[in-house]
């Protein structure tokens, strides 16, 4: 299979990529890792007339710690996040990066491409929604910085304007006493998950949850921030009871579609179970324990 | 749609050999290797980024060449299964796959070898879990994987010994 013919443009800088997009109009698309776009083009589900390749822009791929922040260049590959010692200090980021698809897809796919694609089953979105995260976008009118929570509009749809691109993703490092975990259930490595849960907690004394971020993936048209599940934990001691209440609130918050991966009821139940497990793992990490977390293949 | 699509010049090294030619932008890296360079060792299994039969190394990292464009390999170094053998001698991974029955039909083998090569480059003495993760993007319909793990383990031991 091969894509419909298109013209290939290689941007040498972000500025050039933006002006190429502005000049070429709606029929142009950016090419980052190509791990979503190229399969779509081969299946002729996407047939852009022009591709603007970001891969030759220097210094668009980095993980840079800075004053309590972690800055990721838009072209940073999943595998680079997986291997980054700075990103490993925030375990939920490593859980996510190391669990996406397989080695080859992680070597190619990028953080910016993943957010821009806004696939309802994408892993980065739910994970980053549990941390204060901002997206730095550049367009013909200049630069703007948006909270990630305002970035997704619908399945495969973001607030990015025509000719606007993601330049950088900025994550605020969680304060001491925090811990997070990301769990996904999937059938095999090179497929998207059936359901996922991201939980990021802060514990005041080793028992009481002072802050909670909970987000769900693959169970709605966009990633779902489960505000009621978070509220069920905030200010509470982590007991089987409060954890169950949070899991039930998360199940209620999701809006899964039945498909080959499972019925809506199954996915709803799965989300509850994943949230429970992720809370327990996040709490252990918040208490300073080193815990290995990996995706669940079922 | 514009009628005349300009071809794009690319210059790269494949298995150490230099090439400079012009390609259609939509040419996939795997088709470039197989059709333009006649390096048919790299296989196409699924053509949908799943099976890993088309795995090659692009600048030292494994990629599914059915899901990369030839134009993106400009100024790069590509390693395919044909480049593993040195001076007529099989690479230790190739020899170990033969010795330990790491293949039956052989369809997955070129990609499996490159994924194993990538794994051992990062982790010379991989654990069972690392091996599983390392070849998770490569499907084998014949062997049941156990002999592939045996082969990787044996090659790793030999390569560490050298
Ligand atoms: C077999 C397989 C399994 C996968 N499994 C998973 C999985 O389990 N979890 C998961 O999260 N993902 C998965 N993916 C998707 C993978 O993570 C992709 O890499 C990712 O979704 C898109 O990133 P990319 O860099 O490849 O983007 P591309 O495919 O290059 O681009 C995707 C879209 O984003 C646009 N774009 C790219 N970069 C930018 C930018 N900087 N600014 C604005 N727009 C931009 C492009 O124009 C395009 O529309 C899988 C992919 C494959 C092939
Ligand atoms: S042929 Fe490329 S992944 Fe199957
Ligand atoms: S040996 Fe036949 S698919 Fe692996």
- For B25, the closest chain A residue by CA position comes to A8
Average pLDDT of every residue of chain A: 97
Residue A44, C-beta contacts closer than 8 angstroms, at least 6 positions apart: A3, A4
Average the pLDDT over A45-55 and give the result: 98
Cβ of residue A119 lying under 6 Å from some atom of ligand 1: yes
d(Cα B31, Cα B44) in Å, to the nearest integer? 9
Residue to mutate (ligand 2; options B32, B40, B48; most atoms within 8 A of CB): B48
Does B134 touch chain A if contact means CB atoms closer than 8 Å?
yes
What residue ranges define each of the domains in chain B, with the CATH number in brackets? 8-83 (3.10.20.30), 92-159 (1.10.150.120)
Please state, for a pLDDT cut of 90, what percent of chain B lies above it.
Answer: 96
Contact status, residue A76 vs residue A70, Cβ threshold 8 Å: no
Q: How large a percentage of chain A has pLDDT more than 70?
A: 100
Domains in chain A with CATH codes: 7-53 (3.30.43.10), 63-172 (3.30.465.10), 178-289 (3.30.390.50)
pLDDT digits (tens, 9 = 90+) for B87-131: 999 999 999 999 999 999 999 999 999 999 999 999 999 999 999
**Average pLDDT of span A196-200:** 98
Residue B112 Cα, ligand 3 centroid: separation in angstroms?
9
Contact state of B137 with A105 under an 8 Å Cβ cutoff? yes
Q: Is the CB–ligand 1 distance for residue A39 below 6 Å?
A: yes
pLDDT, residue B2, reads 52
ipTM of the complex in this document: 0.97
The H or E element spanning position A115 is helix A111-117
pLDDT value of position B3:
66
The pLDDT of residue B55: 98
In the numeric block, the tokens 């156990």 are attached to B146
Contact in structure between A165 and A138 (CB atoms under 8 Å): yes
Residues B2, A49: C-beta atoms closer than 8 Å:
yes
Going by C-alpha positions, the residue among A282, A290, A288 that lies closest to residue A130 is A282
> Which ligand gives the minimal distance to the CA of A48?
1
| Percent above pLDDT 70 for chain B | 98
Across the interface, whether the CB atoms of B49 and A108 are under 8 A apart is answered: no
Determine the residue of B40, B46, B141 to mutate for testing ligand 2's pocket, defined as the one with the most ligand atoms within 8 A of the Cβ atom. B46
Q: Does B115 touch chain A (CB under 8 A)?
A: yes
Contact check, Cβ <8 Å, B67/A53: no
Residue B7, Cβ density class (10 Å: 0-12 exposed, 13-18 middle, ≥19 buried): middle
Structural contact between residues B53 and B65, judged by C-beta atoms closer than 8 angstroms: no
| Structure confidence by residue, pLDDT tens digits, A230-244 | 999 999 999 999 999
Residue with CA closest to ligand 1 atom 47: A30
pLDDT by residue (tens digit) across A59-107? 999 999 999 999 999 999 999 999 999 999 999 999 999 999 999 999 9
Quote the pLDDT of residue A298. Answer: 80
Average pLDDT over residues A147-156: 97
Instruction: Report pLDDT for B124.
Output: 97
Mean pLDDT of B49-74: 98
Q: What percent of chain A has pLDDT over 90?
A: 96
Token reading at B37: 């360079």
Closest residue (by CA) to atom 19 of ligand 1? A109
Neighbouring residues of A279: CB distance < 8 A, sequence distance ≥ 6: A199, A201, A233, A238, A243, A246, A247
Judge whether residue A23 has pLDDT over 90: yes
């Amino acid at each position: 299979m091969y894509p419909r013919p298109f013209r290939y443009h290689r941007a040498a800088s972000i500025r050039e990529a933006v002006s190429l997009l502005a000049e070429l109009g709606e029929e142009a698309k950016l090419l980052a890792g190509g791990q979503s776009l190229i399969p779509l083009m081969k299946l002729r589900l996407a047939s852009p007339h022009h591709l603007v390749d970001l891969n030759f822009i220097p210094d668009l791929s980095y993980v840079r710690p800075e004053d309590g922040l972690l800055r990721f260049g838009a072209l940073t590959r999943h595998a680079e996040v997986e291997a980054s010692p700075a990103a490993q200090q925030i375990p939920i980021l490593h859980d996510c990066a190391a669990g996406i698809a397989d080695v080859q897809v992680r070597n190619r796919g990028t953080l910016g491409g993943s957010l821009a694609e806004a696939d309802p089953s994408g892993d980065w979105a739910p994970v980053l929604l549990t941390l204060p995260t901002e997206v730095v976008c550049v367009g013909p009118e200049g630069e703007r910085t948006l909270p990630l929570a305002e970035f997704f509009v619908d399945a495969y749809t973001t607030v990015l304007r025509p000719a606007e691109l993601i330049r950088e993703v900025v994550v605020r490092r969680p304060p001491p006493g925090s811990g997070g975990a990301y769990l996904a259930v999937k059938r095999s490595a090179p497929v998207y998950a059936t359901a996922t849960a991201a939980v990021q907690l802060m514990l005041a004394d080793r028992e009481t949850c002072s802050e909670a971020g909970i987000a769900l993936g693959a169970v709605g048209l966009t990633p779902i921030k489960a505000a009621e599940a978070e509220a069920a934990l905030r200010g509470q001691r982590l007991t089987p009871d409060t954890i169950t209440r949070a899991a039930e609130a998360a199940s209620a918050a999701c809006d899964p579609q039945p498909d080959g991966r499972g019925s809506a009821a199954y996915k709803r139940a799965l989300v509850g179970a994943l949230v429970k497990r992720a809370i327990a793992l996040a709490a252990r990490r918040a208490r300073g324990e080193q815990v290995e977390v990996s995706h669940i293949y079922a | 749609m514009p009628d005349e699509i300009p071809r794009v010049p690319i210059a790269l090294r494949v298995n150490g050999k230099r090439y400079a030619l012009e390609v259609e932008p939509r040419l996939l890296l795997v088709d470039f290797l197989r059709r333009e360079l006649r390096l048919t060792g790299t296989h196409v299994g699924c053509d949908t980024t799943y099976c890993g039969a088309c795995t090659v190394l692009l600048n030292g990292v494994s990629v599914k060449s059915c899901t990369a464009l030839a134009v993106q390999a400009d100024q790069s170094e590509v390693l395919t299964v044909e480049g593993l053998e040195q001076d007529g001698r099989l690479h230790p991974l190739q020899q170990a796959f033969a010795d330990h029955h790491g293949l039956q039909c052989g369809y997955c083998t070129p990609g499996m070898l490159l994924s194993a090569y990538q794994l051992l480059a990062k982790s010379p003495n991989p654990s069972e879990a690392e091996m599983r993760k390392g070849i998770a993007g490569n499907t084998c319909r014949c062997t049941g994987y156990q002999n592939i793990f045996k082969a990787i383990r044996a090659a790793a031991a030999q390569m560490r010994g050298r």
